[in-house]
Structures are given as structure tokens and as C-alpha cells.
Chains A and B, each alone.
Chain A
Amino acid sequence: MAGVTAATAHRRRAHGASASRPWGVAPTALLLLGAIYCLFPVFWVLIAATKSPGELFSTSTLSFGTGFFDNVAELFAYRDGVFWLWAANTLIYAGGGALLSTAVSAVSGYALAKYRFPGRNAIFNLLIGGILVPAVVLAIPQYLLFSEIGLADSHWAVLLPQILHPYGIYLARVYAAAAIPDSLLEAGRIDGAGEWHLMSRVALPLMVPGMVTIFLFQFVAIWNNFLLPFIMLGDDGKFPLTVGLYTLLAAGANQPALYNLILTGALLSIVPLIALFLTMQRYWKTDLSSGAVK
């Protein structure tokens, strides 16, 4: 009996996801329902972005408009193409911030998971505890501080405070604990490898799938952050997309909000995130345990 099950299981594994079972459609159906729920509002933005200002509030919400390319052209031409500048800034903040954040998180998580040293838990709890303080609260003191050292209204003012993220460190610690076998490190030490070498050559490569997740989360978080750059930056040439598009929305009491540009801009600013997600997702295919020796 057990043998038969094992054989079926084995065959099923060999055929991957193609096997079906009694209520085998149900899981797929459930997931698709979730996907539709999540996609529907995005689909709505897609439709709204195709509408000209005149159509936005006069035609049916679910029918496509005729103004998509006009909207895009208008957005790109707005103030001599400032949209591209904002996009480039966002890329610098999100890309640079997420890279640094991933590196810091991975190294910290590795140290916290794989070493026993006095103060380990205190440091971990302290770093994690940072999440208790709302970002809204921190933005003003951070701004006053950056002003003090003369770095307010610079790219650094947006980049630096977003490197440390408690969640990233927590995730890195969990991944390091799961993906790096102690035996591998011990073997390395017996072979005479230094601690730096073990970290950079043995540990970090094993943590890559986890690091991809952290990178993605941080990238998206910084890409979408509004309050910090809003407070920190005075020069509109350094704005990220969120703050830039906001200047179109809150155009002043006596100016109309440029809804068509905002919707188009919002849609276009999601596209790079989708592209990033598609590229990153192949890293999840290698499951963590396959790399590790158990």
C-alpha cells in the first residue's frame, strides 16, 4: 500500500503540475478567484488611463476611451519631460536603496542566525523594534536632522533612511537559518576558510532566493514611499514619481487636478514593477533545499 502511494507520488512529481486529482480543479479555481479579485482594480486603472479628460467622468467606467496615446504624449511633454526625471530619480532611490538594504539585511541576518554571541537577542530585538515607530512620526525628526548636517533636499536624504528595514533583517535571519546548514560552515572552518570568506562565498550564495525576496520588497516599498521624499525634498528635480504625480493631483485650490495624467502616470509607474517581478521570479524556481546539503 505504502509502496503504491510512493510510486504514484513519484510519478506525479515527475509529471509536475499536470496531474489531477478528485477535487483537483478546486485549488486552481480558488487561486484564480484570488487573482481576479487582485487584478480587477488594476484593470480599471488600465481602462481609466485610456480616457481623455472629457471621457473620464462621462463614459461608462468599464469601456475603453480614446485618449490613451494623447494622455501618454501629454504626460511625457508635461514641463519638458519632467516625468522621465522623476522616473530616473525613483529608479535611483528604489534600486540603490533596495540593493544596499538587501546587502545590509543579508549580512545582519546571517550574523544573527549563524553566530552565538553576547547581545545577540538584544541586538535583534532592538533592530526589529524599529518597526514599532510609525514612519509618519519619524519623517519630521529625520528631516530636521538631515537639515542639521546639510543633507536635506539631496538624494542622500531619501536614500539613507530607507536602507535599514526591520522586516528585511527578520526575513534574512529566517532564510539564513533555514538555508545554511551549520555543517557546511563547520566544514569550511576545518578547511581553514576565514569568516569573511565563509560569509561571502558560502553563506550569501545560499541565501540568494531569500535576498531576491528582500530586494523585491524593499524596491517596491521605496518605489511607493511618499511621505519621506515629500518632506525631505524641496527641489522638484529630485522628486520621485509619487511626489511628482502628487503635484499634479494637489495642483492648488483653484487649479483642476490633472486626473488623466495622474492615472496614466500611475499606470506607467506600475509597469517597471511588473517587469521587475517577472525577472525576479525565476529565482524562486530553485527551491532553497536543493542547494543545501541536508
Chain B
Amino acid sequence: MRTNRLGAALAVALTVTCMSGALVSCGSDEPAESPEAAPATAAPQGPAKLTYWTWAPNMDKIVKVWNDANPDIQVTVSKQAGGDDAAAKYLTAAKAGNPPDLVQAEYQHLPSFIAADAVADLKTETAPIKGEFSEGLWNLVTLGTDAVYGIPQDSGPMMLFYRKDLFDKHGIEVPETWQEYAEAARTVRKKDPKAYLGTFSSKDPGAFTGLAQQAGAQWWSISGESWKVDVADEPTRKVADYWGGLVKEDAIDDVPYFTPEWNKALNDGRLLTWPSAVWAPGVLSSNAPKAKGKWAVAPLPQWNAGENFSGFWGGSSTAVSARTPHKAAAAKFATWLNTDPKAIDLLVKEAAIYPATTKAQSALGEAPEYFSNQPDFWQQAAAVSAGARGFTFGPNVGVTYNAFKDGFDKALQDGTPFSAAVQAMQDATVADMRKSGFQIAS
């Protein structure tokens, strides 16, 4: 008898919700339908007040410098959690119709912002500064189209970080090719069975993407009115099988980066290298402060001797919301933040970023404190940066990266080939794009 009541209650609930559902849905479902309406509002009186979502440390200090000098454009920083969550949160806010005026956008997430019509085209506003960035970085904010969806802020060319002291101890040369890296990995296992030369992380698609870029991968590209998706291209499969083979023969470890376990291994000197990006000193100094002065940096090993290629891991841009009523003011601030020498200087010092403008990259002087034993740190970085190649990101990187984690987790767990995981990434990406109706060239 009670159960019947519960059933009846559910029926009532459904009826009520459907009725009110009709009301709600009319009001709130498609804020995206009137994106033109927002910027059309009358030019605001008084100072433009802008909100800025970012996760870079000490950004409030940098913005204060701007606010003091520009009473008519006042920016308020709201520090957010970084990474994929930040992107999801911004997309939700944009869908609901109240995004911040400015947002820090990682390069790989920018296309999904664009696809959701959540960021403004800054083509005219950024015309004068286009030349300050390398073509590769600029492509990341235009996707190779005519529009400009953000201003590059920082970049993450990849380099090889290694324990110089332990390399010396075991008599290992700094590997210049990936073949030498593999040999060195086997040597380390022989000399110290507890240590590894490196680890393959199934949790960091960004790192794998950078390594694939170095090998020449082009996961997405735009041709005419359709996308070309080739996540499982030949360079990517080569990179995957290389690491898969090393893991399988236990020449390198499979502990994911940034975990407590990994931190501990860094501290104990059980990990001798980290193929990472230019921002690595910050992470190392925080997680393994005692190893200061023991690490050194070199270019990534190459696939063919004599080459000088690298890829990107991380990096972000400053984008302007499509709905802001202060687009010009926001663009003005974003331009200042990412191209003004004083602002860049603050970004480097306070937010510990590697700046995106070519001029600023070569102007960096003193090496990070953790690498004070390597005074040419920034020169090395600039040299690597020149040879770093990226690619256009697609509109559903979230799907691809998620497939990376699931696929490589499974490959490590079951001991299956890494190239199968890469194929799973390709299949998931294409299936998702087809489901949404994207035009895909075969």
C-alpha cells in the first residue's frame, strides 16, 4: 500500500516538474541565442569594470599596477582552480549568460570555447601586436582562421630535465636521441635496480601531446569547411610504441606525474629524468627542494640525430568573453598584460610564467633559482622554443584527453600495446565529433 503511494507521489512529481519545466525551458535554455544583444547595450558611463578569471599566482598584484595607471578600466581578479575544471566552469558560466569579461584559456581548451561561441574575435584589436609572437603560437589562438580568439600569454616548450649528479655517478651521457634515451634507461636499471631513468604518465595527455608534436604529429587540421582528425597518425603511433616498449621491458616506470608517489621518487633520487616543459623548475623546487642544484636541463632527445625539434606542454592565452559589454577595454587590458614589457616582467617574476612574446623570451636574464647552477637556462629555453612545433587543437580536446587517460590506463593495466590506446583516442574523438554534426574530411 505504501509502495503505491510512493508511486503516486512520483507520478505527481513528474507532472509538476513537466509543467514547470515548460516554463523554465522557455526562459533559460538558450542564452546563446542572443549573444549579439549583450554587446549592443549602450556604451557604459564611468569606468569600465572588468572581471578576470585566472589561476596564475599573484595576478592580483600585476593587475593592481594596471588599475593604478588606468582609472577608467578597472579589472578585478578572481583566482580560480586551474586546469580542465576551469574550462568546464567557464563554459557553464558562458552558457548561463554570466561569464567573466576576461578569462585565462589554455590553448587546448580555446577551440571548445570558440565552438561554444563563448569568446570574442579580437582581430582588429590585436592587429598591431600580431608580429610580437611566433607564428606557431599565433596559430594556437587563430586555429589558422582569420579570426583571433585570444592573446598568447605563456608557452611551454618541452625540454629534458635530468639529475646531473646521478648521470655522472652512473657514467651516463645526456641522450641526444630517443634511441640513446632508451639505452640510458636500460643502463640505469642495471646500475641501480631501484631507480628509473624516467616514467610514462597515463594521467598527463598534455605531456604526451607535446612529445607527439615533437615527432611531427598533426592531430587536427582545418581544410576548407571541414575538420581533418588524425590522432593516430604515424608520428603519434611511433611515440606511443616507443614508450610502450620501454614500459613493457621495465626500462622505465609507469608512475603518473604530480602524484605523491612521483614526488617521493623525485626526492629519493629514484627518477633521473623528466621530459617536461620550461615551467618545470617551479614544480621541482616545490616538490623536491632538497635536490636544488642537482638538476640540469638539455634539449629533448631527437628522433633523428642532428634535428632540433620540440613540442609544447601547457601554455595559455587571455581571451575576452563574447558577451562582455566592454570588449574594447578588455582587449586593451589583455594587450597590455601580454605585450607591455613592464607587465611581462611582472608575469615572469610574480606569476612564474614563460612569456609568449618572442622579444620577452630572449630578454630573460637570470636563471631560475633552482637552476642557479645553469646560468644559460633561458638561452637554452629560447633555443628550444625556436624549434618547438605545435598543432591546431580541435573543438573536443576534452574527449580526446579523456580517451588518452582511459586508454593508457588500460594499456598499462592489461599490458596491451600503446598504439591501440592511440587508436582508441582517434575513434573516440571522431565518434564524438560526428555525433555533434561536425563536418569531417575522411
Contact surface of A with B, Cβ cutoff 8 Å? 53-54, 56-58, 79, 121-122, 125-126, 129, 140, 143-145, 147-148, 152-153, 230-231, 234-237, 243, 246-247, 249-258
Contact = CB atoms under 8 A, between A and B. Distances in A.
Interface string B89-108: 10011011110100000100
A92 to B, nearest CB: 19
Given A53-B289, A79-B79, A121-B5, 20 more contacts: A54-B289, A121-B9, A125-B9, A126-B9, A140-B92, A144-B96, A147-B96, A147-B98, A148-B24, A230-B89, A234-B80, A236-B80, A250-B81, A252-B86, A253-B82, A254-B282, A255-B57, A255-B82, A255-B283, A258-B286
A230 B2 CA distance: 38
A145 B27 CA distance: 9
Contacts of B279: 254-255
A249 B81 contact: yes
Contact of B96 (A121, A129, A143, A256): A143
Contacts of B96: 143-144, 147-148, 152
A147 B290 contact: no
Interface of B: 2, 5-6, 8-10, 12-13, 24, 27-28, 31, 51, 53, 55-57, 60, 78-83, 85-86, 89, 92-93, 95-98, 100, 106, 154, 156, 206, 258, 260, 263-264, 266-268, 277, 279, 282-283, 285-290, 313-314, 352-353
Contacts of B285: 256
B95 A144 contact: yes
A234 B78 contact: yes
Contacts of B80: 234, 236, 247
Contacts of B53: 234
A255 B28 contact: no
A231 B81 CA distance: 12
A251 B57 contact: yes
B67 to A, nearest CB: 15
Contacts of B28: 144-145, 147-148
Contacts of A57: 260, 263-264, 266-267, 287-288
A126 B12 contact: yes
B290 A54 contact: yes
A121 B290 contact: no
Contact of A254 (B60, B93, B266, B283): B283
Nearest to B82: A252
B5 A253 contact: no
A129 B10 contact: yes
A247 B353 CA distance: 18
A122 B15 CA distance: 13
Contact of B92 (A79, A143, A250, A256): A143
B13 A126 contact: yes
Contacts of B24: 145, 148
A230 B288 CA distance: 31
Contacts of B95: 144
B6 A125 contact: yes
Contact of A257 (B106, B156, B258): B258
B89 A129 contact: no
B137 to A, nearest CB: 15
Contacts of A258: 286
A121 B402 CA distance: 45
10 contacts: A57-B288, A58-B290, A121-B5, A126-B9, A147-B97, A237-B78, A251-B82, A252-B83, A253-B106, A254-B353
B78 A236 contact: yes
Contacts of B13: 126, 129
Contact of B12 (A56, A122, A246, A256): A122
B246 to A, nearest CB: 24
Given A121-B9, A147-B98, A231-B89, A246 B287 contact: no
A137 to B, nearest CB: 13
- Indicate the member of B9, B24, B86 with the most A CB atoms within 10 Å: B9
B98 A152 contact: yes
A289 B156 CA distance: 68
Contact of A252 (B56, B100, B264, B277): B56
B55 A247 contact: yes
A253 B83 contact: yes
B91 to A, nearest CB: 11
A208 B107 CA distance: 56
Contacts of B289: 53-54
A122 B289 CA distance: 62
Contacts of A255: 55-57, 82, 279, 282-283, 352
Nearest to B60: A79
Given A253-B82, A254-B283, A122 B260 contact: no
A53 B53 CA distance: 28
A274 to B, nearest CB: 26
Contacts of B287: 53, 57, 256
B322 to A, nearest CB: 16
A152 B89 CA distance: 13
Given A252-B55, A253-B206, A254-B279, A247 B92 contact: no
A122 to B, nearest CB: 5
A57 B291 CA distance: 12
A122 B13 CA distance: 10
Contacts of A257: 258
A254 B277 CA distance: 8
Contacts of B79: 79, 236, 247
A72 to B, nearest CB: 18
B384 to A, nearest CB: 15
Contacts of B12: 122, 126
Contacts of A254: 154, 156, 277, 279, 282-283, 314, 353
A61 to B, nearest CB: 10
Contacts of A231: 89, 92
